[in-house]
C-alpha cells in the first residue's frame, strides 16, 4: 500500500503540524498551544524563537553562509576556543550531527593507537542500553538489535557489557581495546544515570591500561543537567567527547572535543566534513553559549531541575498506578511509567504537553532550559491531568467487571 506522503515512512509521526514557537510553547496552524517538554529531543535548549539566536542567525545569513573547510572560519575559531576554555578539551572539531560527532570520536580513538604502532587496538567498549547514533558504526556502538537488524553485518570492533558491571568490563578489555564510550546519563535508554563511582572507575581503568575515555554528551551536554557538561558532576574528565543537540539550539550541528594529544592524530586529510562548522551554524552555536555561559544560568537550570524533580516525585506518589519513579538530573528528567510510556505521552499530548518516550518504559521531561517556574507548575498540572485519565479509565474498567 502506498501512503499519501512522498516521504519515507521511517518515522511514526504525530498528526500535529506546528506553525511557530514562542519560548517553551509550540503553536499549531489552527492556534492550539502545546507546552514543549520535549525540546525537539533535547535540542531547543533555549526554547523557540529565542531573540538572541534569531538575531545571530539573521545577521550571519545576510553576510555569509558557507565557505567549506578549505578556508578559515572565524566563528569556528571562536566557538572552539570557548568550548575548550570551558571544558577538559584543548581542541574542537565541528560537525553536523550527533552521530557524526561520535564517528569523529571513534575515528580519533582508533587513529591515536594506530599512530602509536598499535593498529590492532581498535575496539571500543560500550554499554547495554546505550545510544550513539544511526550510522553503520554508531548502531554497532549502541549495540541494540532493533537498530542493527537488516543492515548487514555489524561493524567490527565494538564490545558491549552491561552498564555498571565491573567484572564484565574487566573481562572484556584487553590489548585490542582502544577506548571506552559511555553516556554519563543514558538518554534514549531511559534517563539512566551511570553513577559517579562507575565513571571514576572507568577513568582509572582507562588510565591504568592506556585506554581512551569517550563521553557521549550529545544529550546531556550544554547545560541540560545544570552543569555545562554532565560529567562535571562526577569530577571525571574524558579524553574525547561528542556534543550536538543543545549546542545548536535547533540549528543542526555537533562537535568532537579532545585533548591536544588525541586531537593531534587527525592530521590534514585524515578526516573531514563539507558542511561541518559552517558560518550559520557557528553563529548560532556561539549565540547559544552567550546565554548558557551567562552568570547564574546553569545554577538556575540546576535549581529548576531540583524543583521539577520534587514536583514530579509528588506526582509519582499521587498516581502509583500510572507512574513508578522519577529519574535524572537538572532538566534531563524521566518518568518511569507503570502504564505504557507511549500511551502516557499520548495522554499528555491530549492535555497540551509534549514529552518524548525513551527506553525502559520511561517518558522524558526535557523542557527548554529557559522554562520559568510558573511554566514548571503548568507542566505538573498537565501531567497530573494526563495521569488522572488513566485512573478514570482504570476505575471504569474496574466498575465494568
Ligand atoms: C541523539 C543522540 C545521538 C545521535 O545524534 P544525531 O544528531 O541524531 O545523529 C547520539 N548519542 C546520544 C546520546 C544522543 O542522545
Tell me, yes or no, if the pTM score tops 0.95. yes
Residue 252's pLDDT is 98
Is 88 among the residues known to form the active site?
A: no
Report how far Cα 384 is from the mean position of its chain's Cα atoms: 26
Residue 392's pLDDT is 76
Smallest Cα–Cα separation from 189: which of 332, 27, 10, 8?
332
Q: Are 27 and 346 in contact (CB under 8 A)?
A: no
Q: Which residue in 34, 88, 127, 131 is the catalytic one?
A: 131
Domains of the chain by start residue, with CATH: 18-44+302-400 (3.90.1150.10), 64-292 (3.40.640.10)
For ligand 1, atom 6, the nearest C-alpha belongs to 98
Q: How far is the CA of 395 from the centre of ligand 1 (A)?
A: 40
Look at the chain and count its residues. 401
Is 131 among the residues known to form the active site?
A: yes
- Distance CA(245)–CA(102), nearest Å, equals 13
Distances from the Cα of 165 to the Cα of 309, 352, 354, angstroms:
28, 40, 35
Residue 15's pLDDT is 92
Q: What is the 3-state secondary structure (H, E, C) of the chain?
A: CCCCCCCCCCCCCCCCCEEEEEECEEEECCCCEEEECCHHHHCCCCCECCHHHHHHHHHHHCCCCCCCCCCCCHHHHHHHHHHHHCCCCCEEEEECCHHHHHHHHHHHHHHHHHHCCCCCCCEEEEECCCCCCCCHHHHHHHCCHHHHCCCCCCCCCEEEECCCCHHHHHHHCCCCEEEEEECCEECCCCCEECCHHHHHHHHHHHHHHCCEEEEECCCCCCCCCCCCCHHHHCCCCCCEEEECHHHHCCCCCEEEEECHHHHCCCCCCCCCCCCCCCHHHHHHHHHHHHHHCCCCHHHHHHHHHHHHHHHHHHHHHHCCCCEEEEEEECCEEEEEECCCHHHHHHHHHHCCEECEEECCCEEEECCCCCCCHHHHHHHHHHHHHHHHHHHHHHHHHHHHC
For ligand 1, atom 11, the nearest C-alpha belongs to 132
**Location of C-alpha cell 553562509:** 65
Distances from the Cα of 85 to the Cα of 29, 82, 88, 89, angstroms:
43, 5, 8, 8
Residue 399's pLDDT is 57
Q: How far is the CA of 301 from the centre of ligand 1 (A)?
A: 22
A 10 A CB-CB count for 324 gives 16
Q: Are 384 and 311 in contact (CB under 8 A)?
A: no
Is 197 among the residues known to form the active site?
A: no
Smallest Cα–Cα separation from 127: which of 174, 192, 178?
192
Which is the closest atom of ligand 1 to the Cα of 138?
10
Residue 3's pLDDT is 73
Q: Are 176 and 123 in contact (CB under 8 A)?
A: yes
Smallest Cα–Cα separation from 139: which of 123, 119, 120, 153?
153
Residue 396's pLDDT is 61
Q: Which residue in 91, 122, 127, 216 is the catalytic one?
A: 216
Residues with CB under 6 A from ligand 1: 97-99, 102, 131-133, 183, 187-188, 216, 218-219, 244-245
Q: How far is the CA of 26 from the centre of ligand 1 (A)?
A: 23
Report how far Cα 32 is from the mean position of its chain's Cα atoms: 28
β-bridge mates for residue 33, sequence order:
27
Which is the closest atom of ligand 1 to the Cα of 216?
13
Smallest Cα–Cα separation from 307: which of 337, 325, 329?
329
Give me the residues of the chain with pLDDT under 50, please. Answer: none
Q: How far is the CA of 136 from the centre of ligand 1 (A)?
A: 14
Amino acid at each position: 500500500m502506498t501512503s499519501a506522503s512522498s516521504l519515507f515512512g521511517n518515522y511514526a509521526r504525530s498528526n500535529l503540524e506546528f506553525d511557530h514557537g514562542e519560548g517553551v510553547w509550540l503553536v499549531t496552524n489552527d492556534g492550539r498551544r502545546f507546552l514543549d517538554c520535549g525540546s525537539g529531543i533535547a535540542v531547543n535548549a533555549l526554547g523557540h524563537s529565542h531573540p538572541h539566536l534569531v538575531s545571530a542567525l539573521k545577521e550571519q545569513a545576510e553576510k555569509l553562509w558557507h565557505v567549506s573547510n578549505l578556508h578559515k572560519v572565524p566563528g569556528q575559531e571562536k566557538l572552539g576556543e570557548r568550548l575548550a576554555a570551558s571544558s577538559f578539551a584543548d581542541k574542537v572539531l565541528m560537525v553536523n550531527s550527533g552521530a557524526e560527532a561520535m564517528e569523529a570520536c571513534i575515528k580519533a580513538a582508533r587513529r591515536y593507537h594506530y599512530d602509536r604502532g598499535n593498529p590492532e587496538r581498535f575496539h571500543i567498549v560500550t554499554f547495554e542500553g546505550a545510544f550513539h547514533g544511526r550510522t553503520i558504526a554508531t548502531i554497532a556502538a549502541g549495540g541494540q538489535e532493533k537498530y542493527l537488524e537488516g543492515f548487514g553485518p555489524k561493524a567490527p570492533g565494538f564490545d558491549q557489557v552491561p552498564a555498571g558491571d565491573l567484572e564484565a568490563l574487566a573481562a572484556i578489555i584487553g590489548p585490542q581495546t582502544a577506548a571506552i564510550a559511555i553516556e554519563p546519563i543514558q538518554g534514549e535508554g531511559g534517563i539512566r544515570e551511570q553513577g559517579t563511582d562507575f565513571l571514576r572507575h572507568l577513568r582509572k581503568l582507562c588510565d591504568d591500561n592506556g585506554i581512551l575515555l569517550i563521553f557521549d554528551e550529545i544529550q546531556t551536554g550544554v547545560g541540560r543537567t545544570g552543569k555545562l557538561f554532565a560529567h562535571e558532576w562526577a569530577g571525571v574528565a574524558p579524553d574525547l567527547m561528542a556534543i550536538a543537540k543543545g549546542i545548536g539550539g535547533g540549528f543542526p550541528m555537533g562537535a568532537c572535543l579532545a585533548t591536544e594529544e588525541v586531537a593531534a592524530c587527525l592530521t590534514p586529510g585524515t578526516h573531514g566534513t563539507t558542511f561541518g562548522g559552517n558560518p550559520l551554524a557557528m553563529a548560532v552555536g556561539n549565540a547559544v553559549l552567550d546565554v548558557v555561559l551567562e552568570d547564574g544560568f546553569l545554577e538556575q537550570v540546576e535549581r529548576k531541575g531540583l524543583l521539577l524533580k520534587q514536583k514530579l516525585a509528588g506526582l509519582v506518589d499521587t498516581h502509583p498506578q500510572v507512574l513508578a519513579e522519577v529519574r535524572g538530573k537538572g532538566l534531563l528528567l524521566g518518568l518511569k511509567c507503570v502504564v505504557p510510556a507511549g500511551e502516557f505521552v499520548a495522554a499528555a499530548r491530549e492535555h497540551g504537553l509534549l514529552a518524548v518516550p525513551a527506553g525502559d518504559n520511561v517518558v522524558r521531561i526535557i523542557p527548554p532550559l529557559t522554562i520559568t517556574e510558573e511554566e514548571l507548575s503548568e507542566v505538573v498540572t498537565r501531567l497530573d491531568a494526563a495521569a488522572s485519565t488513566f485512573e478514570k479509565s482504570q476505575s471504569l474498567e474496574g466498575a465494568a467487571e
